[in-house]
Amino acid sequence: MASYDVVDLIRSKRDGGVLADEEIRWLIDAYTRGDVGDEQMSALAMAIFFRGLDARELPTWTRAMIDTGERLDFSGLSRPTADKHSTGGVGDKITLPLAPLVAACGVAVPQLSGRGLGHTGGTLDKLEAIPGWRAMLSNEEMLAQLEDVGAVICGAGSGLAPADKKLYALRDVTGTVEAIPLIASSIMSKKIAEGTGALVLDVKTGAGAFMKTLDASRELARTMVGLGAAAGVTTVALVTDMSAPLGRSAGNAVEVAESVEVLAGGGPADVVELTLALASEMLAAAAVDADPAAALASGRAMDVWRRMIAAQGGDPDAPLPGARHTETVRAEADGWIASMDAMAVGLAAWRLGAGRARKEDPVQAAAGVTWAASVGERVRAGDVLFTLHTDTPERIERARAALEGAVTISPEPASRGPVVLERID
Residues annotated catalytic, as ranges:
85, 164, 171, 186, 190
The DSSP code for 175 is T
Number of residues that bind ligand URA (CB under 6 A): 6
- CA-to-CA dists, residue 287 to 7, 79, 115, 292, 312, angstroms: 47, 11, 31, 14, 28
In the complex, minimum distance from the CB of residue 158 to ligand URA, in angstroms, rounded to a whole number: 15
Nearer to ligand URA, 177 or 310 (CB): 177
Pick out residues in 136-195 that bind ligand URA (CB under 6 A): 168, 177, 182-183, 186-187
Nearer to ligand URA, 142 or 182 (CB): 182
Q: How many angstroms separate the CA atoms of 375 and 173, rounded?
A: 35
Nearer to ligand URA, 47 or 406 (CB): 47
CB nearest ligand URA: which residue? 186
Q: How many angstroms separate the CA atoms of 283 and 289, rounded?
A: 7
The DSSP code for 156 is P
In the complex, minimum distance from the CB of residue 52 to ligand URA, in angstroms, rounded to a whole number: 15
In the complex, minimum distance from the CB of residue 169 to ligand URA, in angstroms, rounded to a whole number: 11
* Closest to 273 (Cα-Cα) out of 416, 80, 123: 416
The DSSP code for 52 is -
Nearer to ligand URA, 177 or 214 (CB): 177
Question: For 288, phi and psi rounded to 5 degrees?
Answer: -115, 130
The DSSP code for 319 is P
CB count within 10 Å of CB 376 equals: 15
- CA-to-CA dists, residue 155 to 88, 232, 253, angstroms: 16, 24, 18
Q: How many angstroms separate the CA atoms of 366 and 411, rounded?
A: 35
48 binds ligand URA (CB under 6 A): no
In the complex, minimum distance from the CB of residue 185 to ligand URA, in angstroms, rounded to a whole number: 8
Q: What is 73-119 written as a DSSP string?
A: --TTSSS-BEEEEE---TT--THHHHHHHHHHTT-BEEEEE---BTT
In the complex, minimum distance from the CB of residue 177 to ligand URA, in angstroms, rounded to a whole number: 6
In the complex, minimum distance from the CB of residue 198 to ligand URA, in angstroms, rounded to a whole number: 19
* Closest to 226 (Cα-Cα) out of 81, 55, 82: 55
In the complex, minimum distance from the CB of residue 192 to ligand URA, in angstroms, rounded to a whole number: 13
Q: How many angstroms separate the CA atoms of 11 and 188, rounded?
A: 27
Nearer to ligand URA, 65 or 151 (CB): 65
User: Under a CB-based contact definition with an 8 Å cutoff, are residues 190 and 155 in contact?
Assistant: no
The residue count of the chain comes to 425
In the complex, minimum distance from the CB of residue 341 to ligand URA, in angstroms, rounded to a whole number: 21
Q: How many angstroms separate the CA atoms of 258 and 65, rounded?
A: 36
Nearer to ligand URA, 177 or 414 (CB): 177
User: Under a CB-based contact definition with an 8 Å cutoff, are residues 183 and 218 in contact?
Assistant: no
Nearer to ligand URA, 119 or 416 (CB): 119
Question: For 312, phi and psi rounded to 5 degrees?
Answer: -105, 25
* Closest to 236 (Cα-Cα) out of 83, 79, 102: 83
Distance of CA 419 to the CA centre of its chain: 16
Nearer to ligand URA, 195 or 268 (CB): 195
Q: Under the rule (CB under 6 A), what is the footprint of ligand URA?
A: 168, 177, 182-183, 186-187
